[in-house]
Each structure stands twice: as C-alpha cells, then as structure tokens.
Amino acid sequence: MKATLQIDITKIQESKIEKTDFENLTFGKTISDHMFVADFINGEWTDFRIEPYAPLALNPANATLHYGQSVFEGLKAYKNEDGEILLFRADANQKRLNESAKRLCIPEVPEELFMEGLMQLLDLDRNWIPNKPGFSLYIRPFIFATDDYLGIRPSEKYKFMIFTCPVGHYYAKPVTVKVEQKYTRAAEGGTGAAKAAGNYAGSLYPALLAQKEGYDQLIWTDSKSHQYIEESGTMNLMFMINNTLITAPTHTGTILKGITRDSVLTLAKEMGYEVEERFLTVAELQEALETGSIQEAFGTGTAATIAHISKIHVNEVDYEMPQKPVDSFSLQVLKILDDIKYGKVKDNHNWIIKL
C-alpha cells in the first residue's frame, strides 16, 4: 500500500524484544514496542503519529471514565514461510469498528487512516510477529472519548489508537460452558452488536460466578425469555446437530457480527454442509445433548479462532460432549483457516492483505 498520509514516527530508544520470552506468552500481557495514535479535534482526525508504547495521562474528568464512550476491535497478523506479513480480513474489522462507533456517537475512522496507520505500525514492529505455527500478533485498535467534562453528551474530542501483542493460543484446552438464564449480556435495542467496552464490563460478574462453579465461559440467552441461545462470553457459538451447522443470526442487534463467524459460515457452505442461521432454543440444545444428536459445539472468534467445547451445563445438568473425530467439521475448518492465515494455501476469498 502506497503511503498517502503523513505519519510522524518516533522510535523507541531500546526495544523490549530481546527480553521477551516468546515461548511463554500470556495472551494480552506482552505488548510490542510502538503504538499508533490519532486525535479527533475540531471535527477532524489529526496529528497522526507512531510513538513508543507508554501509559496515557488522563484528566479525572475524562468522559470515557465516567460514561464509557469507547469501542474497540481485535484482529491478527501472521507470517508466512517467507517471512511476509499477512493480515486477515482487516478491512472487515475497519468497517465493524465504524459500525460500533456510530452506535456510541463516536466519529468514524476513515479506511485510509485505519489501514495506513496499521500498516506502518506493523512494518515498524514486524519483528514482534511470531514466525511459528499457532502464534500471531494480536492487534487492538480502539477509540475513546477525551473531553474533560462531566456533562452527559457525546464527547467533542476522541483518541484513536492501535497497539499490538505477540500471542500464542488463547485456550490451551477445550472449554466448559454454562447456559446462563438469569443475567443478560445484551437486549434488543441495546449495544450488543457493538464492540463496546461496557458490554464486557457487564458480563464479568455472571461470568465470575460461573467460573467459581468450575465453568470457563457462559452461554448467553435472550434477555426476554432466556430460552434462546445467543453467544458466549468471548465468542459466537456454533452447534453441529444431525450434520447441520446451527448458529444464532445477527439481525436482532444483540449479537456481535463476528468476522471469524462469517468466515466459518462461508467455508461450511463451500464444504457442502447445511447451515442454519437461527436461534437454537435451550430445550432443543438439551434434547440434542440427551439424545446424542449433537456432534460438536464450538465458539468462533479472533482470539481463539475455534474454541472446542467439552462440557455444557443446562438446567442443573452437566453434559459431556462426544469425542471429536479427526474429520470433524471444526477441526477441518480450523485447518483451512490456519492454512489461509499463514499463507499455506491460495486465498480464494480475498481475505488476506499482504504487506
């Protein structure tokens, strides 16, 4: 991509990379050397810069701290065998960031600004991208309000930033989940479809209760009846029942339009699987678990790609999932996605952007 924006670059004096243990990476704890920053002032994005990763100085009256005007994204960069940098569906993340921003009255980030800031940051910190299977560079773009004002209104100033983290596997083993039928993640008309910071804050307490009971994640149900399955804590959910792939639709505005979700559905149809985008009821799920008609359940998301589910708790009963055969759909689609992301096969969907 030819550079068209003027981005000032200040390099770190001493890189942290030599002191980083790439064999023992905890997701989200190891941060690369630099970050991209832009400010929204007087109705326009300005002051584009890349600078050493460092803490921010915030006024105690900062609008985000009080009213939560903040949205974010998550995507990944990979390296192929030739050491080239491959970005997976970054254009989709840029569009979704703006959809989230619009819902929270945050100014949209132009595609050129998003992509060029990201590309120059990755080029500068290219050595932070692990060059081994299962590892990648997690990328966190986000926007937050920067007005120092306690009045309740949309902020007039914002900051757009991108920083990156080298990461390994998000889940080291299959996850156990509990169907949640008391607390609510999102309601129709709310912000469930936006990647808003507040969505995650509200999910922490019920998730903590489930973790104390021994479960890794929750399966969220609809806010009205708690009888329709929506998504999980950090993932969209998919169920293979009688050779049909079932996942919740996104038209209600309560479910994040997952980019990995969309990729899996595209590949499933190409592989000849029957796909149903509909709400699975809790009763249907429990019946499938009891009769053995459920073949597998898994989550999809940027961090985990495919997270296999080993146990589901429904109505006070634990159901162990069947042993996953080597030719199961989730294992097949995970391999296809990984092969595309690491440049091992031809990308027929134009999902990869190569630096």
Are 308 and 162 members of one domain? no
Tokens of 286: 């429990």
Q: Which amino acid is at 246?
A: I
Q: What is the pLDDT of residue 96?
A: 98
Are 296 and 198 members of one domain? yes
Query: Among residues 111, 145, 168, which one ends one of the domains?
Result: 168
* Cα–Cα distance measured from residue 208 to residue 271, given in angstroms and rounded to the nearest whole number: 38
Are 28 and 157 members of one domain? yes
350 within a domain of the structure (yes/no): no
349 within a domain of the structure (yes/no): no
Tokens of 83: 């050491």
207 within a domain of the structure (yes/no): yes
Confidence grade of residue 107 (pLDDT, cut at 50, 70, 90) = very high
pLDDT at residue 1 greater than cutoff 70: no
Contacts of 16 (CB under 8 A, 6+ apart): 33
Backbone angle region of 86, left / alpha / beta, with phi > 0 → left and psi within -120 to 50 → alpha:
beta
Are 88 and 41 members of one domain? yes
Are 163 and 127 members of one domain? yes
* Cα–Cα distance measured from residue 228 to residue 280, given in angstroms and rounded to the nearest whole number: 6
Tokens of 84: 């080239």
Are 189 and 225 members of one domain? yes
3 within a domain of the structure (yes/no): no
Cβ 98 vs Cβ 108: under 8 Å: yes
Q: What is the pLDDT of residues 195-227, one digit of tens each?
A: 999 999 999 999 999 999 999 999 999 999 999
Q: What is the pLDDT of residue 2?
A: 56
57 within a domain of the structure (yes/no): yes
Domain count, the chain: 2
Query: Among residues 147, 168, 189, which one ends one of the domains?
Result: 168
Give the CA distances from residue 63 to residues 56, 70, 153, 188, 201, in Å, rounded to whole numbers and listed in that order: 15, 10, 9, 26, 17
Q: What is the pLDDT of residue 30?
A: 96
280 within a domain of the structure (yes/no): yes
Are 163 and 195 members of one domain? no
Query: Among residues 138, 168, 198, which one ends one of the domains?
Result: 168
125 within a domain of the structure (yes/no): yes
* CATH number of the domain to which 143 belongs: 3.30.470.10
pLDDT at residue 3 greater than cutoff 90: no
* CATH number of the domain to which 246 belongs: 3.20.10.10
346 within a domain of the structure (yes/no): no
Are 182 and 327 members of one domain? yes
What is the rounded average pLDDT of the residues 157-165?
Answer: 98
Q: What is the pLDDT of residue 255?
A: 95
Are 310 and 237 members of one domain? yes
Are 116 and 156 members of one domain? yes
Are 190 and 55 members of one domain? no
Are 162 and 180 members of one domain? no
Confidence grade of residue 134 (pLDDT, cut at 50, 70, 90) = confident
3-state secondary structure of 92: helix
Per the structure, the complete domain to which residue 78 belongs is given by 8-168
Cβ 344 vs Cβ 337: under 8 Å: no
Average pLDDT, the chain: 96
Q: What is the pLDDT of residues 297-346, one digit of tens each?
A: 999 999 889 999 999 999 999 999 998 899 999 999 999 999 999 999 99
